[in-house]
Chains A and B, each alone.
Chain A
Amino acid sequence: MTDQIPFAAVEFAANPEPRCACVLLLDTSASMSGARISELQEGLAVLKYELSQDLLARKRVELAVVTFGGSVRMLSEFTTVDQFEPPILHADGLTPLGGAVTTGLELVRNRKRVYRQNGIACYRPWVFLLTDGEPSDPWQAAAAAVRHAETARDAAFFAVGVGEANFDVLGQLSVRQPLMLRGLQFRQMFQWLSTSLKSVSHSGVSDELSLKNPTAPDGWAKL
């Protein structure tokens, strides 16, 4: 029998560290334009910077970026932090949030399969949703998929609302309590995300996420 050699093998031969996949689902609908999108853009740079400072996290955390503004688009496929280039964001169109969540869950599922094929250990992937609006597409199926993924421990889903986000929908989407961003503290939010991913990617594969409370008085979020 002649086995084919998947191309991915080289990537995992070069770097066999366990992986922590994190997909960012970013709302880039028209309402995000202006200060929001530019702060978010800087936030992505902060995320890359903060994670890069950690020699292990930069080899372990893999980031992917999916935007939903008008349509759901994959702007950056999973890459380890050392090779991640924050994509340029443009705000435009409606808010297909349901489609984005479904895409995000599928991405982490596929990525986990690739890890397994290549004998790479992994931490529970993160799906990090950020939105400032109201879904413009059906989202109920996505909510069911999130619940299923959480129960099966396939992914940890986090939802963050900005400004006029529909908190009620976020509450139904996420098993965890959704958070509301204070003002435009995107940088603080991404610092928190980076710290959390760093601690996840070191702790070994502990089941419970013990994260710093972002809703503390000095945190970036409120309930």
Chain B
Amino acid sequence: MIVYSADGKPVELGSVLGRGGEGAVHLRLGDESQACKVYTKPPTDQRTAKLTWMVNRLHAHPDLAQWCTWPQELLFDDQHQCVGFAMQRLKELRPIHEVYQPEQRKTVLPTAGWDFLVRVATNCARMFETLHKYDVIVGDVNERNIFVDADATVHLVDCDSFQIRDGEQFFGTGVGVVDYTPPEMQGVDFRLVPRTVEHDRFGLAVIAFKLLLMGRHPFSGGASGDLHHAIATKDWDYPQLAQRLRHLLPWSVVGPPVRAAFIAAFTEDQRPSAALWIERLAAFEAGLQPCRREPLHKVPAGLGTCPWCTIEQVAGYAYFSRPQTQYHSQWQSADSQLAPLDAELKALVPPRQPEEWQSPPGMEAAIATARAMLQAERPPDLLGWYLALGGGLVATGGVAMALFHPSRGVVVAGAGVLALVASRWLTARRQVPWHKVTAAIEQQIAAMREIEAEWKGEALRFRDQDKRLRAWLAELRVQVLGVNEQRQREIDKLEGSQVSEALRAGLMRYDLAAASILNIPVEKKRALAIRGVLTAADLDRSKLAAIPGLADAQIEALIAWRRSTEALLTGSRAQGPSPAQLGAIDANFQHMRDNLLAEMRGALGTLRDSGQLADGRMAELIEQGKQAGLALQARVEAARREYIEH
């Protein structure tokens, strides 16, 4: 798009830097230092007259544009109709609300302390002072119109809405935001009532309050919760509120002259001028000193304790926390922790091996005796034998006798039969049969062999368990030693990927929605957003190719935008892993190693317990074997006495 300067020279407009209700701000091609505001609707004659006055006024007083984007040159279309104006281009500045909101400020200005915020407030006062000196009223004071640079200087934008009075000429503002509007103007139609410098002073006081008191609007916390109502009724009670809410900065921390200025601004009709704010805030800043614990904590001289430290302790919120710039690793090798474990392992003797079985005393001897006895002849049942033989002979003799002497023969034969029967009865009554005796002895020997087998089995089991535990311990030891290397690899990896990570973080700050990219209409951006493509970091070809309805030219345009953004960012790459990242790695691997060492200690305990258990169990079985040997010996002796020696 081409517009023209007053002398007819073409001015080429570049991409859109921002869009507002009235128009868009473009880059001025060929002059990096300038931007051009082009209205959507042609400005009214009144507006054109105002801009003309402003441009002319600037020639007389160049300092008007010192802290704001004051119109510097009118721009026209080819019909000589005014369409906008050229102004200073602000680069890389932050809207002031990102500076006074604590959490946001910690991200965008991590090294800013309270003194920085006081300085921003003083600079705001200087900015107002510069304009008020020429009877220019800002009118629409609000947090979107003020931008802060990294050096704490501030700039106002939307200068075409300033209220200007010059003799007979009057150009009003017509707009305003409740939060920065003084009590007497609450609910008033801004188009009908001209602003005064008192109104600006109220807005300035609100801005200064927000900067000094951690982003809080002075009237928030009013009984109704409604800012409009609280301001209109001057329902201002920060001091009481700060007593009740411990996360608020105590009112007494703000020095008396600054406190008095705030009280005057919020409760009286005569409000401190910008010049007074400059004086008091500068004096207050000069008295700030860092606390001993945290250099970002700035404390007014004479205050006993650091209020920021106190808030951290009692409310758990750090209003200022500086990212560590250096990291001193406490990392050490694991040798000192492994040494006692190694010593303990060495002291643990493995349990006896299965082949080391030595029969308990008496056991093998008892078995040998038993075997010898069983192999000897079957012992005779002498008494029974003789009785049976005698009975048989007598019975036979009795039968023979009966042939000659029947009555006597029957008696003799009866006696013989009786004796025979008695012999069988006697044998049956007096003795366990021999085969049963041998079976019992065999059984006992088998039981003893079982004890032996169990001992060996147990020894095998304990040996395996011991081996397993020792192998596990060795494995853990290797892992413990390996953590060192793993940690180093992780750090190397981080350093290697640092550049792309830094770039990625940078790209993530570039919202697609805020960018103006040729060929990419708002609808398309919305479609991209729904599929998770929100910032420059999300733009890669494969991701874009997967999104339906995106033309090749559009993909190219998006990639080109990403490239140009990358080019902007290449200067701002991080130098290496941050202390926080290194700390996280150390903590992570320390944790991992502690877990491994704990596991080693556990395994050693199990090994020790298992050894004790093995010793006990082995001794128990040896005792059982010994007892069984003695019992066998006794039984064999008894059998010998009963069956063989008789």
Contacts and interface: CB of A to CB of B under 8 A. Distances in A.
A164 interface: no
Contact of B101 (A15, A46, A119, A187): A15
Nearest to A9: B247
A13 B319 contact: yes
B314 interface: yes
Which of the four size classes fits the interface of chain A? 35 or more
Contact of A9 (B230, B245, B514): B245
A203 B95 contact: no
B426 interface: no
B620 interface: no
A13 B95 CA distance: 20
B216 A5 contact: no
B217 A18 contact: yes
B177 A202 contact: yes
Interface string B502-540: 000000000101100000000000100110001000000
Interface in B363-382: none
- Count chain A CB atoms within 10 A of each CB in B97, B216, B228, B247 and give the residue with the most: B247
A205 B229 contact: yes
A49 B103 contact: no
B527 to A, nearest CB: 10
Tell me what chain B mostly uses at the interface: helix, strand, loop, or mixed. Answer: loop
Contact of A205 (B102, B226, B244): B226
B132 to A, nearest CB: 23
B549 interface: no
B511 A53 contact: yes
A53 B311 CA distance: 32
A9 B247 CA distance: 7
Contacts of A59: 97, 101, 104
A17 interface: yes
A45 B530 contact: yes
B529 A45 contact: yes
B178 interface: yes
A18 B247 contact: no
Given A3-B246, A16-B220, A206 B228 contact: yes
A59 to B, nearest CB: 7
B101 A12 contact: no
B178 to A, nearest CB: 2
Contacts of B319: 13
A55 B315 CA distance: 27
- Count chain B CB atoms within 10 A of each CB in A3, A17, A115 and give the residue with the most: A17
- Count chain B CB atoms within 10 A of each CB in A119, A187, A204 and give the residue with the most: A119
B181 interface: yes
Contacts of A15: 101-104, 215
Interface string A106-126: 000000100110111110000
Interface in A41-66: 42, 45-46, 49, 52-53, 55-56, 59
B245 A119 contact: yes
A17 B101 CA distance: 8
Interface in B210-225: 214-217, 219-222, 225
A10 B317 contact: yes
Interface string A185-223: 001000000000000001111110000000000000000
A55 B97 contact: yes
Nearest to A55: B95
Contacts of B529: 45-46, 49
Contacts of B315: 5, 9-10, 13
Nearest to A203: B178
Interface in B476-513: 511, 513
B177 A42 contact: no
B541 interface: no
Nearest to B213: A16
B628 interface: no
A119 B95 contact: no
Contact of A16 (B95, B179, B216, B227): B216
- Count chain B CB atoms within 10 A of each CB in A9, A116, A205 and give the residue with the most: A205
B226 A121 contact: yes
A16 B101 contact: yes
B144 interface: yes
A35 interface: no
Contacts of A5: 246-247, 314-316
A9 B530 contact: no
B248 interface: yes
Contacts of B177: 202-204
Contacts of B102: 13-16
A18 B526 contact: no
A46 B227 CA distance: 30
Interface in A137-183: none
Given A45-B529, A205-B227, A119 B534 contact: no
B530 A121 contact: no
B101 A122 contact: no
A17 B215 contact: yes
Given A3-B246, A207-B228, A13 B220 contact: no
Contacts of A120: 220-221, 225
A13 B101 CA distance: 9
B98 interface: yes
Contacts of A13: 102, 214, 247-248, 311, 315, 317, 319
B338 interface: no
Interface in A1-30: 3, 5, 9-10, 12-18
B97 A56 contact: yes
- Count chain B CB atoms within 10 A of each CB in A15, A112, A121 and give the residue with the most: A121
A49 B219 CA distance: 31
13 contacts: A5-B246, A10-B247, A10-B315, A13-B214, A13-B317, A17-B215, A53-B511, A56-B97, A56-B144, A59-B97, A119-B216, A121-B226, A203-B178
6 closest residue pairs by CB, A with B: A204-B178, A119-B221, A121-B220, A14-B103, A13-B247, A205-B228
Given A119-B216, A119-B220, A119-B248, 11 more contacts: A10-B317, A13-B315, A13-B317, A16-B215, A16-B217, A49-B530, A56-B97, A56-B143, A116-B225, A118-B245, A122-B225
Interface of A: 3, 5, 9-10, 12-18, 42, 45-46, 49, 52-53, 55-56, 59, 112, 115-116, 118-122, 187, 202-207
